[in-house]
Amino acid sequence: MSESIKRHKAAIRRTEHSLPVKCMVRDQLVTTDRVMFDYGCGHGDDLTGLQASGITCYGFDPAFRPDAPKIASPVVNLGFVLNVIEDVDERSTTLKDAWELAEQVLCVAARIIVSDQSGGDVEYGDGVLTRIGTFQKYYTQAELRQYLEDALGQECFPAAPGVYYIFRDKELKSTYLASKYRRRIAAPRKRIAEVRYEEHRDILDALIEAITELGRLPEPDEFAASEPVIEVFGSLKRAFALIRRVTSDDDWEVVRKQRSEDLLVYLALANFGRRPKFSELSLKFQRDVKAFFTSYKNACEEADQLMFRAGDPMEIDAACQRSPIGRLCPNSLWIHECVRDQLEPLLRIYEGCARAYIGSVEDANLIKIHRVSGKVSYLACPTFETDPHPITTETTKIWLRTLRVGFYETESRNNPPLLDRKDQMLAAEDERRAKFERLTKQEFKHGLIHEGDDFLTRAVWQGNLQMLGFSHRGHRLVKSSQTSAKPKVVLPKRCSKLGVGKRIGGAVYVHRQYEDVLREAVATAKATLPSGFSYTVIKHNELNGNVSFIHCPDFDTADEPSTGDYAVVRSDGSIKLHRALADPYIYHHKWLFVAEDYQGFDVAQSQKRSAAWMSLDNVDKSLIGRASYWNKEVVPRLTQSPEDDWLRSEEVRKRLKLTTCELAHMREAGELQFKKQGNAYLYRPPASE
């Protein structure tokens, strides 16, 4: 290891499980019955958390637990280790050592690139050096998979972005795959009573559960209660004949069809890696193939046809339009993640291709299937259940044609689209659906939403509700008691991660009084500033590590302070100085940059200023960052607000019948109350006038 590389600094303290451990717990690979070994455990926070849950686990780390033995275990975790090893040969050796210790499954996690922004990192070997002296090897999702499969000669299965499972135990692999592609099916209801059925209800109900699970009649070794059933009825087939008399043949055909579709989806998506030979399938899968398709060849041909159709945008568009589940928008179909297995096989395969590439996206509870553009998006909507019209806060998008991955933080948008018709995103039997559906019917009835519309923005919703005289009370539409009031403006929030600061995209802006919240990032960059450099605001770009120091001479005095000279310190330590622009950028919501107790200006008054301009319509949000547009197009409209009696120069001259020079003399003599707004003067004339 190069002396300049400080690997131990890459280990971070955790208050919750790391992503790979979360995945293994979720997928029931790490359980109280299965020991885990953490190869490269860092400070050991994952081990502490698992042990508190009654899970036996051990760990080794060359920096923090160098003397701990490397123990062969059913589950081995190699979490975010490969990406900090700068030596290519050592990286490969570490991977193979971890694989040798894995008795059943190895979980490998590494940092991946999820956007096109590489920032100002310095190239070092096949990775980058970070500003704190650690090495990081960044992979794309496809590169990581290829590297693991080439090094180990084994097929990999994605669990999440940058997380893969490699199975040594074939039975555990089959169980894992079955859980991914098999949906939960309710057993057919009994429609008539029969004396003989009632006499043997216990064993026959158990047989119903087994047939529902398999979609076919079980073999005796697949059903624990087969002996008592055969003893009473002579065979499982005869027992099932009785079951069919008290249920519905149509229901059993649906069960069979659904289980055969599950198998087709699995075989189609198996082509994403290497489809197993028939002899490599578990005995259960072999029996499924024979029961549903007669031969493996027939099953694979049907699966291939579905996979081929999944690559046709017109087929996907048609499938979205006919789907009985989902909120259909002009360019997409939105569903809740709990119903993806209820989509028709073609859409399950289409979405499954994205999941086979990226794995499961943490915190994503909505899926957006793009109808014609070849993309699938996974979105986080934390208030889906509680908010009648929630917003999404994060999006992970996969371009299936190019296998590109993008991540977007969307919570801070000024005027985001609000979700509607949430009931359509859920299954018919979902207990939440009735409440959501009642609201949807009310909104259709009163003309707030219309068939074929895309999602409406927050501003449009507020305007429509005000115009029609309604408001929301939970998931009910009620007549508003203040129909003449302006729509309520929802102010942005300070950065939740830091407790202070304004987040714009991947960057956070804070006033220098609160720069400590940025910790070592700003401390390291600040040391490179020229002596005497004055700054007011710090911008930390979390995507590329750059830190900007910005002088704002009127930060405390102007409602929207303007930017002056600024310095950008890149993550490699280099610095570039910039002069103030002739048409400077300005900052809105300056109160976000500071805490509530800031003394430089009236924080509450600044928040009122934000609410005032956000309530204006026809403001071009793409131009408001420039002082020229703001002062010309927005500020005059703010001064015309009925609750504000400050007037523009032209209006005061007309009201008081003054020339421009006379108005200036009165201002200079202190005979008129005035203030400066941008480059304009505003006046409050005497009440008697």
Query: Has residue 642 got a pLDDT over 60?
Result: no
Among the listed residues 170, 202, 193, 180, the one whose alpha carbon sits nearest the alpha carbon of residue 103 = 170
* DSSP-derived 3-state class of residue 233: helix
What phi, psi does 648 have (nearest 5°)?
A: -75, 165
Which tens digits make up the pLDDT trace of 544-597? Answer: 788 999 999 999 999 999 999 999 998 888 899 999 999 999 999 999 999 999
Distance CA 260, CA 299 (A): 9
pLDDT band, residue 133 (cuts 50/70/90): low
Which tens digits make up the pLDDT trace of 322-376? Answer: 999 999 998 999 999 999 989 999 999 999 889 888 888 888 999 999 999 999 9
* DSSP-derived 3-state class of residue 183: coil
Q: Which two tokens stand for residue 239?
A: 């027992």
Q: How many residues does the chain have?
A: 689
Query: Has residue 108 got a pLDDT over 80?
Result: yes
Q: What angle do CA 519, 586, 677 make, to 5 degrees?
A: 130
Count other Cβ atoms within 10 Å, centred on residue 153: 9
Query: Has residue 431 got a pLDDT over 60?
Result: yes
The whole-number average pLDDT for the span 467-487 is 75
The whole-number average pLDDT for the span 69-84 is 91
The whole-number average pLDDT for the span 460-465 is 87
> Given this model, what pLDDT does residue 638 score?
81
> Given this model, what pLDDT does residue 483 score?
43
Q: How far is CA 72 from CA 82, 101, 274, 327, in A?
A: 19, 4, 27, 49
pLDDT band, residue 523 (cuts 50/70/90): confident
> Given this model, what pLDDT does residue 277 score?
86
Choice between 194 and 577, residue whose per-residue pLDDT is larger: 577
- Range in 16-25, 55-64, 201-210, 667-676 with the lowest mean pLDDT: 667-676
> Given this model, what pLDDT does residue 95 score?
95
Q: Classify 56 in phi/psi space as left (phi over 0), alpha (psi -120 to 50) or beta.
A: beta
* DSSP-derived 3-state class of residue 506: coil
DSSP H or E stretch at residue 550: strand 547-550
The whole-number average pLDDT for the span 430-458 is 90
Query: Has residue 466 got a pLDDT over 70?
Result: yes
> Given this model, what pLDDT does residue 192 score?
58
* DSSP-derived 3-state class of residue 477: strand
pLDDT band, residue 269 (cuts 50/70/90): confident
Angle at which helices 249-270 and 283-293 pack, to 10 degrees? 120
> Given this model, what pLDDT does residue 271 score?
76
Q: What angle do CA 318, 322, 324 make, to 5 degrees?
A: 150
> Given this model, what pLDDT does residue 488 score?
65
Percentage of residues of the chain with pLDDT beyond 90: 39
> Given this model, what pLDDT does residue 447 score?
85
> Can you say how many angstroms the Cα of residue 120 is from the centroid of all Cα atoms in its chain?
26
pLDDT band, residue 116 (cuts 50/70/90): very low
**H helices within 446-587, ranges in order?**
458-468, 520-526
> Given this model, what pLDDT does residue 43 score?
85
> Given this model, what pLDDT does residue 652 score?
77
Query: Has residue 430 got a pLDDT over 80?
Result: yes
> Given this model, what pLDDT does residue 12 score?
55
The whole-number average pLDDT for the span 629-658 is 74
> What DSSP line would sit under 407-472, residue for residue?
EEE-TT-SSPBPP--GGGGS-TT-TTHHHHHHHHHHHHHTTSS-TT--PPBHHHHHHHHHHHTEEE
pLDDT band, residue 11 (cuts 50/70/90): low
Q: Are strands 566-569 and 547-550 parallel, antiparallel or unpaired?
A: antiparallel
Which are the contacts of 234, defined by CB distance < 8 A and separation ≥ 6?
A: none
Query: Has residue 643 got a pLDDT over 60?
Result: no
pLDDT band, residue 688 (cuts 50/70/90): very low
Q: Which two tokens stand for residue 622?
A: 């793409």
The whole-number average pLDDT for the span 123-141 is 55
What phi, psi does 515 have (nearest 5°)?
A: -65, -20
Q: Looking at the DSSP assignment, which residues form a beta bridge with residue 102? A: 73
pLDDT band, residue 384 (cuts 50/70/90): very high
Which are the contacts of 314, defined by CB distance < 8 A and separation ≥ 6?
A: 372
Q: What is the mean pLDDT of the chain?
A: 84
pLDDT band, residue 9 (cuts 50/70/90): low
Which tens digits make up the pLDDT trace of 139-191? Answer: 878 888 889 999 999 988 888 888 999 999 988 887 787 777 766 666 676 66
pLDDT band, residue 663 (cuts 50/70/90): confident
pLDDT band, residue 498 (cuts 50/70/90): confident
> Given this model, what pLDDT does residue 135 score?
58
